[in-house]
């Protein structure tokens, strides 16, 4: 007998039509109303916690926790290291929401679905978006466990969450991208690193589709294209945030070295365990910034 055929619902969104910007916004307005029934504060920031960084939510004085499964229209998260919960509460006394888990394109989600957490933040009245991720280091000066402030990005996913009819109430048809990562928030982050005494790089994040890590030749190419770090998330979320007019701060934890000359094997579990070692640095930066919002 062969293996029984098991229905796999983990990738349901793959088979659904891509939701339009208008549909996502309508769905997130509904989701925001549901969040409001449990939590009524106006968030100063929405924090998207990347792979292995979900523990940061432990620092929040929690006022409500909402399972993604309980948020209408939110897909489940299938990625390892992503709990799939929305944590609402206070961080250093300021109201914030934290997303423990995001929606990656490599899971089969559309770019507009990847932007849903940001549209939910927008529907809740906005606030700054703080995004974190695990990334491979392309810059030879980077070591594993280092943190990089994202100064700019390159979208090599070749997909965009704003494709389709534009809703001018949500944002402009042709959003500006001359400075997607807020300079003032970057300055605050650098001040925290200086005060606390750890290295904080600043560089260009390249977003790729994944899910495989890169070949030697690909890492070499990505470096030559101008990247300092490479990862499989963040870019769709930041595009939606800029469309929505939200200020953005992006942080990458360097979990593996993407060097063509010294490439070693990378696994998802290695990435998670290295990401966890940088959690204190990330927490210091995020708290330092939220304190000023």
Identify whether the C-beta of residue 39 lies closer than 8 Å to the C-beta of residue 64.
yes
Which residue lies nearer to ligand HPA by CB, 136 or 161? 136
> Tokens in use for 291?
């304190």
Q: What residue is closest to ligand HPA based on CB?
A: 136
**Which residues in the 239-268 window bind ligand HPA by CB under 6 A?**
255-256, 258, 266
Q: Which of 231, 236, 250, 288 binds ligand HPA (CB under 6 A)?
A: 231
Which residue lies nearer to ligand HPA by CB, 170 or 235? 235
Q: Which of 147, 170, 232, 238 binds ligand HPA (CB under 6 A)?
A: 232
The window from 36-44, 163-171, 175-183, 229-237 that contacts ligand HPA (CB under 6 A) reads 229-237
Distance of CA 186 to CAs 51, 156, 173, 233, 276, Å?
Answer: 22, 23, 27, 20, 22
Strands 128-137 and 45-49: parallel
| Per-residue x/- track, 104-143, ligand HPA (CB under 6 A) | ------------------------------xxx-------
Nearest distance from C-beta of residue 139 to ligand HPA, angstroms: 13
Which residue lies nearer to ligand HPA by CB, 182 or 214? 214
Report the alpha-carbon distance of residue 278 to residue 273 in Å, rounded. Answer: 9
Which residue lies nearer to ligand HPA by CB, 164 or 210? 210
Kindly state whether residue 50 participates in binding ligand HPA, applying the rule CB under 6 A: no
| Residue-by-residue DSSP string for 44-88 | SEEEEE-TT-GGGGGGSEEEEEEEGGGSTTPPPP-STT---EEEE
Q: Which of 230, 249, 251, 279 binds ligand HPA (CB under 6 A)?
A: 230
Nearest distance from C-beta of residue 133 to ligand HPA, angstroms: 7
Write the DSSP symbol of residue 24.
H
Total residues contacting ligand HPA (rule CB under 6 A)? 15
Phi, psi at 89, each rounded to 5°: 170, -150
HSE-CB of 147 using CA atoms within 13 angstroms: 29
Nearest distance from C-beta of residue 236 to ligand HPA, angstroms: 14
* Phi/psi-derived region of residue 210, left when phi > 0, alpha when psi is between -120 and 50, beta in every other case: left
Positive or negative, the Cα torsion across 215, 220, 222, 227? positive
The window from 14-22, 67-75, 102-110, 224-232 that contacts ligand HPA (CB under 6 A) reads 224-232
Q: What angle do CA 66, 252, 272 make, to 5 degrees?
A: 65
Q: Which residues bind ligand HPA (CB under 6 A)?
A: 134-136, 208, 210, 213-214, 230-232, 255-256, 258, 266, 271
């Amino acid at each position: 007998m062969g293996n029984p055929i098991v229905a796999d619902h983990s990738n349901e969104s793959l088979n659904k039509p891509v939701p339009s910007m208008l549909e996502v916004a309508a769905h997130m307005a509904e989701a925001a109303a549901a969040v409001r029934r449990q939590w009524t504060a106006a968030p100063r920031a929405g924090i998207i916690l990347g792979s292995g960084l979900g523990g940061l939510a432990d620092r929040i004085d929690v006022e409500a926790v909402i399972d993604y499964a309980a948020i209408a229209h939110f897909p489940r998260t299938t990625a390892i290291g992503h709990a799939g919960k929305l944590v609402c509460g206070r961080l250093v006394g300021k109201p914030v929401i934290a997303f423990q888990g995001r929606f990656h394109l490599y899971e089969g989600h559309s770019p507009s679905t990847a932007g849903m957490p940001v549209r939910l933040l927008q529907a809740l009245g906005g606030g700054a978006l703080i995004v974190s991720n695990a990334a491979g280091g392309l810059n030879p000066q980077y070591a594993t466990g280092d943190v990089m402030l994202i100064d700019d990005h390159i979208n090599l996913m070749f997909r965009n969450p704003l494709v389709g009819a534009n809703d001018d109430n949500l944002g402009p048809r042709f959003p500006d991208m001359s400075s997607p990562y807020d300079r003032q928030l970057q300055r605050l982050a650098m001040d925290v690193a200086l005060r606390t005494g750890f290295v904080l790089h600043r560089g260009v994040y390249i977003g790729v589709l994944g899910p495989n890590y890169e070949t030697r030749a690909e890492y070499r190419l990505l470096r030559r294209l101008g990247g300092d770090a490479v990862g499989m998330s963040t870019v769709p979320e930041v595009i939606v945030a800029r469309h929505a007019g939200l200020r953005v701060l992006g942080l990458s934890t360097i979990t593996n070295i993407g060097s063509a000359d010294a490439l070693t094997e990378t696994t998802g579990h290695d990435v998670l365990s290295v990401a966890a070692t940088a959690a204190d640095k990330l927490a210091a930066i995020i708290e330092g910034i939220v304190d000023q919002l």
